[in-house]
Amino acid sequence: MLDLKAMAIFAKVVEKGTMQKASAELNMTPAAVSQYISKLEQQHKVKLLNRTTRKLSLTAAGEGFYQGCVTMLSGAESAVNTLESLRDNPIGTLRISAPTGIADSTFIGALEYLLKQNPDMNVDLQFSDEMVDLAEKKIDIAIRGGANALQSPNLIARHLIDIQPITCATPHYLQQSTIPINTPHDLLKHKWLGSLDAAQNYRKHIYRLDGQSEIEIVPPLKVICNSMLARRILALNHMGISVHAGLEIQGYLQTGELVHILPQWQLPMVSLYLVTLNRADSTKVRLGIEAIRQSFKR
């Protein structure tokens, strides 16, 4: 008789690397987790894990068994998703990962409407500007921007909107500065707020004038901040120059709290995508996708 629970626990231990981490996620004690692994080894009369005081490693048998467990869990998850996709009344939790910059956008209104129309649904909303692993974090929908929206062929990206990045600062910051800004090269003389790229280097910005002239700069950062929302707050507090999505700061530009710097010099457009795992979408995921799409059309 297959012990499917023990197989799922074994897969989680391998995924997390230690029994302590696996037990925390499974809401079990490390001793209980260890007993399940020992039971599997005794049942099949083969050693699955090499245990030391510092780490766990798979035996050859354990490696093959782990791959089978992963396949089993994937099949079980697919079966559940198939059932949910046939359900007319969506229930359960919809897990969404989104960048911090849209935390106060019409996107939030879309979720409010979605929950009002579907009272048996819940939303687990996780704001992060990092590229999270959808499978590991059990994310149903991720909102991602740029060319790296797809991490693997196991993901599906649906184009949502094209965004114009805007270089901006407050009028107060610009008035206090004695350095005029006439070309992108002048921006290098100012205080910049931003994040590092994946290689932990300063980001490159390419400015184009009338689609012809092109100037590339790599401004050093006065403040390094990995949150879009926090960078916007820093900019609004006159800390320096930063680049934001046009849709994110449109209201601040209209009120004059932020000023578009060098509007004739444009940065390349950035595409925003809705990303899901490559599998049958449940009813709640389909409804979530449609609600988010509609919110960005307004």
Token duo for residue 163: 């965004």
Is the model's pLDDT at 174 over the cut of 90?
A: yes
Is the model's pLDDT at 13 over the cut of 70?
A: yes
For residues 108 and 255, state if they share a domain.
no
Which of 85, 119, 138 is the last residue before a domain boundary?
85
Which of 54, 85, 116 is the last residue before a domain boundary?
85
- CA distance to 102, 119, 148, 211, 269, per residue, from 272 (Å): 12, 29, 10, 22, 10
How confident is the model over 61-85, as pLDDT tens digits? 889 999 998 888 888 877 776 676 5
Spatial distance between the Cα atoms of 8 and 113, rounded to a whole number of angstroms: 36
For residues 59 and 120, state if they share a domain.
no
User: How far apart are the two ends of the chain, measured CA to CA in Å?
Assistant: 55
Q: What is the DSSP string of the chain?
A: ---HHHHHHHHHHHHHSSHHHHHHHHTS-HHHHHHHHHHHHHHHTS--EEE-SS-EEE-HHHHHHHHHHHHHHHHHHHHHHHHHHT-SS--EEEEEEE-GGGTTSHHHHHHHHHHHH-TTEEEEEEE-SS---HHHHT-SEEEEESGGG--STTEEEEEEEEE-EEEEE-HHHHHH-----SSHHHHTTS-BEE---TTSSPPPEEEEETTTEEEEE-PPPSEE-S-HHHHHHHHHTT--BEEEEHHHHHHHHHHTSSEESSTTEEPPPEEEEEEEESSPPPHHHHHHHHHHHHHHH-
Is the model's pLDDT at 285 over the cut of 80?
A: yes
How confident is the model over 106-156, as pLDDT tens digits? 788 888 889 998 998 999 999 988 888 888 888 999 998 876 676 677 888
For residues 155 and 129, state if they share a domain.
yes
* pLDDT, average across residues 163-185: 94
Token duo for residue 134: 């959808």
Distance of CA 194 to the CA centre of its chain: 18
Instruction: Look at residue 86 in the predicted model and tell me its pLDDT.
Output: 57
What total of structural domains would you count in the chain? 3
Spatial distance between the Cα atoms of 108 and 121, rounded to a whole number of angstroms: 15
How confident is the model over 193-239, as pLDDT tens digits? 999 887 788 999 999 998 678 999 999 999 999 999 999 999 999 99
Average pLDDT, the chain: 88
Instruction: Look at residue 109 in the predicted model and tell me its pLDDT.
Output: 83
Contact (CB, 8 A) for 143 and 160? yes
Q: At what angle do helices 60-85 and 283-297 cross, to 10 degrees?
A: 70
Sorting pLDDT into bands at 50, 70 and 90, what band is 95? very high
Residue 156 belongs to domain spanning: 89-161+271-296
For 210, list phi and psi in degrees, rounded to 5: 55, 30
Sorting pLDDT into bands at 50, 70 and 90, what band is 243? very high
For residues 220 and 184, state if they share a domain.
yes
The CATH number assigned to the domain holding 14 equals: 1.10.10.10
The CATH number assigned to the domain holding 234 equals: 3.40.190.290
Top-confidence residue, 33 or 146:
33
Instruction: Look at residue 198 in the predicted model and tell me its pLDDT.
Output: 74
Token duo for residue 239: 């800390």
For residues 248 and 174, state if they share a domain.
yes
Closest CA relative to residue 219, chosen from 258, 267, 259: 267
Sorting pLDDT into bands at 50, 70 and 90, what band is 88? low
* pLDDT, average across residues 15-19: 87
Instruction: Look at residue 104 in the predicted model and tell me its pLDDT.
Output: 76
Which of 85, 107, 128 is the last residue before a domain boundary?
85
